[in-house]
Amino acid sequence: MNRGPSAEIDLSAFAHNIAVLRNVTGDRPVIAVVKADAYGHGSVEVSRRLLREGVSMLAVAFTGEARKLRDSGIAAPILVLFDRDELNDYFELGLTPVIQDIRTADVFSKEAVSRGKKIRVHIKIDTGMGRIGFRPEQAVSDAVRVADMKGIELEGLMSHFSEADLTDRSYAMHQIQIFDGITKELSARLHRPLICHMANSAASLSIPEALFEAVRPGLLLYGHSPFEERYGLKPVMTIKTKLLAVRNLPAGCAISYGRTFCTLRPSRIGVVPIGYADGYNRLFSNNAEMLVRGRRVPVAGRVCMDLTMVDVTEVEDVSEGDEVVILGRQADETVRASELSAKIGTIPYEILISLGCRARRSYLN
Ligand SMILES: *Cc1c(COP(=O)(O)O)cnc(C)c1O
């Protein structure tokens, strides 16, 4: 496939971003979240590099994602956050399930016994995210029940924040308090420590009380901060392509579907081979900038399926074939995922995944 944009993934940036993380988390084990094809960066290459940089465990959403990693020779522990139907995968691939209720624990226990095996599990506590997990009221007694089940080895306890990225930390602190109480009571009942982890990127960077025994970041590893402050993180991915055409047009020309942009002066319009089929959101119509020859240029008119026009009138010596950066850095200018997400009312995560999952990837070491 040779359609539009390419994604350049700078693997060396992971070392830098992990150093930023370790600056606040010390030498706690890192469980690196590589779900959704490593946030659009390519899970196999990214996981290999992250493991080389010293992360202890990988986390994916579904067992299919873990299978891809195992098939490429990755032997590290893999935590599967959400899946529970693919029992066979867990045993065949040696994966660590996140247990979210007693019934599921029971199913894993029976399967382990019938295979004459033990399976390591982590238990999820719903401390306020309201998504999945054991309710706090019965969490300790339920977790003890799970720990006592045949074939099950309870290794970890986890929870997830609902709003660790706000400046008002009161709800996050409330969740921490609940989790902390449960971890202490449970360790006492089981007479042994568990690996307790709760911190996503936002909490890892900003809430010391959230760190527990291990941290579980995604976004920051890829070089993006959940906050205005960037913490010196280095974006891993650049999305770029080349100008398909540069056209000199007189004043008064309508550009693209629906004539939402009209040249007000004699203009140079660049045609960029990226569109909403490539994950470049149609809401960027007249509403985003790209980089050409180190300068910001505005999107002119509606984003099409495969093409988008930009006004390059102010760019000197611009010509067909010039590099266009859609996300990332060119010369001294940078378009950040947070800049794009803010323009269309979403979050950097969605920008990375929309653009990264569809582009042709190349890796820099
Ligand atoms: C996605 C996810 C994370 C990582 O969150 P970031 O905000 O990307 O750091 C951690 N834990 C769970 C359960 C998740 O689903």
pLDDT digits (tens, 9 = 90+) for 145-172: 999 999 999 999 999 999 999 999 999 9
Q: How far apart are CA 90 and CA 247, in angstroms?
A: 56
- Cα–Cα distance, 198 to 183 (Å, whole number): 11
Ligand 1 atom at shortest distance from the alpha carbon of 124: 13
Contact 351, 41 (CB under 8 A): no
Three-state DSSP at 75 gives: coil
| Residue nearest ligand 1's atom 13 by CA | 160
pLDDT band for position 206 (cuts 50, 70, 90): very high
| Angstrom distance (rounded) from CA 140 to CA 351 | 39
Task: Give the residue among 104, 188, 181, 182 at the shortest CA–CA distance from 146.
Answer: 104
d(CA 7, CA 281): 16
Q: Please tell me the distance from the alpha carbon of residue 297 to that of residue 290, in angstroms, as a whole number.
A: 5
Residue 278 — left, alpha, or beta (φ > 0 → left; ψ -120 to 50 → alpha)? alpha
Percent of the chain that is helix, strand, coil (3-state, to 5): 35, 25, 40
Encoded tokens for 361: 């990837």
Q: Is 255 left (phi over 0), alpha (psi -120 to 50) or beta?
A: beta
Pick the catalytic residue: 171, 257, 276, 280? Answer: 257
- Give yes or no for residue 3 having a pLDDT over 90: no
d(CA 37, CA 195): 25
Q: Give the pLDDT confidence of 208-241 residue by residue, as tens digits.
A: 999 999 999 999 999 999 999 999 999 999 999 9
Residue 193 is encoded by which pair of tokens? 């420590």
Which residues fall within 8 angstroms of residue 172, CB to CB, at 6 or more apart?
Answer: 161, 162, 163, 164, 166, 203, 207, 210
Mutate to test the pocket of ligand 1, among 24, 41, 46, 160 (most ligand atoms within 8 A of CB): 160
Closest CA to 244 of 192, 163, 308: 308
Residue closest by Cα to atom 10 of ligand 1? 200
> Two tokens at 144?
């003890």
- Compute the distance from residue 199 Cα to the ligand 1 centre, in Å: 8
Catalytic-residue membership of 35: yes
Ligand 1 cavity residues, CB under 6 Å: 33, 35, 81, 160, 200-201, 216-219
Please name the residue whose Cα sits nearest to atom 6 of ligand 1. Answer: 218
Within 10 angstroms of residue 92's Cβ, the number of other Cβ atoms is 13
Site to probe by mutation for ligand 1, drawn from 81, 98, 338 as the one with most ligand atoms within 8 Å of Cβ, is 81
Q: Taking the model in full, what pTM does it have?
A: 0.97
Burial class, 222, CB count within 10 angstroms (exposed 0-12 / middle 13-18 / buried 19+): buried
Q: How many CB atoms lie within 10 A of CB 30?
A: 24
How many Å apart are CA 237 and CA 101, to the nearest integer? 37
Residue 124 falls in the annotated catalytic set = no
pLDDT score at 183: 97
**Contact indicator for 33, 59 with CB cutoff of 8 Å:** yes
* Ligand 1: centre distance to CA 44 (Å): 18
Which residue has tokens 């959704």? 36
Q: Is the pLDDT of residue 1 over 50?
A: no
* CB-count exposure of residue 365 (10 Å: 0-12, 13-18, 19+): exposed
Q: In whole angstroms, what separates CA 29 from the centre of its chain?
A: 19
Locate the ligand 1 atom nearest the alpha carbon of residue 226 and give its number: 7
Residue in 358, 363, 365, 364 with CA at minimum distance from that of residue 4: 358
Biggest distance spanned by C-alpha atoms of the chain: 79
Question: HSE-up of 91 (CA within 13 Å, CB side)?
Answer: 17
**Mean pLDDT (the chain, rounded):** 96
Pocket probe for ligand 1: among 33, 34, 96, the residue whose CB has the most ligand atoms within 8 Å is 33
Q: State residue 256's pLDDT score.
A: 98
| Residue 248 tokens, joined | 């000199």
Q: What is the pLDDT of residue 4?
A: 76
pLDDT in tens, 76-130: 999 999 977 789 999 999 999 999 999 999 999 999 999 999 999 999 999 999 9
Tokens, residue 179: 């989790």
Q: What percent of the chain has pLDDT over 90?
A: 97
The residue from 35, 124, 234, 240 that is catalytic is: 35
